[in-house]
């Protein structure tokens, strides 16, 4: 309860010279926290660092009274990590694997562990498949197992990297509900490039690009900053280049075969433009566009 994650001046430059984290400072409270950024922004580097899987060059991260860089064993007992892909799905049964992971997280009491494993299998809708080998699991079942292994042992910090890739809409919904339920008590960091996921789920968020924090705060405050500043217009395909030169084009998508542009402008635009209700997606693109 009330635990906070404080990240200060975290930096990481890879051997090839890519600066993946550039002086990142974030304060993350309990609840659902969205970490939004385009591909290559540095999200996975940050998530892997917090999950104790790689070292930063400098900076600190403090979870309650745990120093996350120096006290890795302590972090691991408080941590649930759901990576994008596990890669390996062994012939071990779901139940045995979960039991093993629970043991690693410090559930050393056999009776308690058995209860925790059974309850988690039920909660993630896998109880009927508990004796089945993970190697034979379908995509949806693998995802649910991923959630089960992340949640076992009641972690105080749950890190979820690009979770909804490859889920159908029904699975995505169930996953969201489970996360929202867990997220009331613990810190859940949801790393994604899907703006909609953050808009629907998160009470606090950050946007990062090229290793830098461009925004942190509440999604609704971000949207409020754009009030009266987003304009839309439907144009012919051939006109797109001209508009991109003259205006700060936030996004362009095809509607009935014609580009519908969202344009950023603090001053009112006439000549066919109509005011548009700003969305988190508008805010995200406004932050990461090169005209910034």
C-alpha closest to that of 229 among 189, 183, 265: 265
Residues in the chain: 292
Q: How far is the CB of 234 from ligand ADP (least distance, A)?
A: 32
Q: How far is the CB of 21 from ligand ADP (least distance, A)?
A: 8
- With CB under 6 A as the contact rule, which of the stretches 15-23, 100-108, 109-117, 122-130 interacts with ligand ADP? 15-23
- In the sheet that 274-275 helps form, which strands lie side by side, from edge to edge? 248-255, 258-264, 230-234, 274-275
Evaluated on CA atoms 2, 27, 281, 229, the torsion sign reads: positive
Q: Which tokens hold the place of 195? A: 């703006």
Distance CA 231, CA 223 (A): 14
38 vs 118, beta carbon nearer ligand ADP: 38
18 vs 165, beta carbon nearer ligand ADP: 18
Q: Which tokens hold the place of 157? A: 């910090």
Count of chain residues binding ligand ADP (CB under 6 A): 12
CA dihedral 54, 288, 285, 59 (to 10 degrees): 40
C-alpha closest to that of 209 among 22, 31, 41, 16: 41
Q: Which of 18, 53, 110, 165 binds ligand ADP (CB under 6 A)?
A: 18
Is residue 80 within 8 Å of residue 157, measured between CB atoms? yes
39 vs 270, beta carbon nearer ligand ADP: 39
Is residue 32 within 8 Å of residue 188, measured between CB atoms? yes
18 vs 110, beta carbon nearer ligand ADP: 18
37 vs 219, beta carbon nearer ligand ADP: 37
Q: How far is the CB of 176 from ligand ADP (least distance, A)?
A: 21
Distance CA 134, CA 96 (A): 10
- With CB under 6 A as the contact rule, which of the stretches 16-24, 55-63, 116-124, 147-155 interacts with ligand ADP? 16-24
Q: How far is the CB of 165 from ligand ADP (least distance, A)?
A: 12
Q: How far is the CB of 56 from ligand ADP (least distance, A)?
A: 12
What character string, x for contact with ligand ADP (CB under 6 A) and - otherwise, covers 20-39?
x----------------x-x
User: Is 16 among the residues that bind ligand ADP (CB under 6 A)?
Assistant: yes
Is residue 9 within 8 Å of residue 60, measured between CB atoms? yes
45 vs 149, beta carbon nearer ligand ADP: 45
What character string, x for contact with ligand ADP (CB under 6 A) and - otherwise, covers 38-77?
-xxxxxxx--------------------------------
Is residue 24 within 8 Å of residue 31, measured between CB atoms? no
Interface residue list for ligand ADP (CB under 6 A): 14, 16, 18, 20, 37, 39-45
């Amino acid at each position: 309860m009330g635990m906070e994650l404080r990240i200060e001046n975290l930096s990481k430059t890879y051997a090839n010279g890519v600066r993946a984290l550039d002086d990142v400072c974030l304060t993350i409270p309990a609840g659902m926290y969205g970490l939004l950024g385009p591909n290559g922004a540095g999200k996975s580097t940050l998530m892997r660092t917090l999950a104790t899987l790689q070292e930063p060059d400098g900076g600190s991260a403090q979870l309650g009274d745990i120093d996350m860089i120096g006290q890795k064993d302590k972090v691991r007992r408080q941590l649930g990590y759901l990576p994008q892909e596990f890669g390996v799905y062994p012939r071990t049964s779901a139940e045995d694997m979960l039991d093993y992971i629970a043991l690693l997280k410090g559930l050393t009491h056999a009776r308690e562990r058995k209860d925790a494993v059974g309850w988690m299998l039920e909660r993630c809708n896998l109880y009927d498949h508990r004796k089945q080998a993970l190697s034979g699991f379908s995509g949806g079942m693998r995802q649910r197992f991923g959630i089960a292994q992340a949640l076992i042992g009641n972690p105080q910090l749950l890190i979820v990297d690009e979770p909804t890739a490859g889920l159908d809409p029904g699975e995505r919904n169930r996953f969201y509900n489970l996360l929202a339920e867990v997220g009331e008590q613990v810190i859940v960091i949801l790393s994604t490039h899907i703006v909609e996921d953050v808009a629907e789920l998160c009470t606090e968020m950050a946007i990062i690009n090229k290793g830098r924090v461009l925004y942190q705060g509440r999604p609704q405050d971000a949207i409020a900053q754009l009030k009266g500043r987003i304009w839309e217009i439907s144009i012919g395909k051939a006109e797109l280049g001209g508009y991109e030169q003259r205006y700060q084009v936030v996004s362009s998508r095809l509607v009935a075969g014609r580009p519908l542009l969202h344009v950023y402008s603090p001053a009112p635009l006439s000549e066919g433009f109509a005011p548009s209700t700003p969305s988190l997606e508008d805010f995200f693109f406004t932050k990461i566009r090169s005209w910034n």
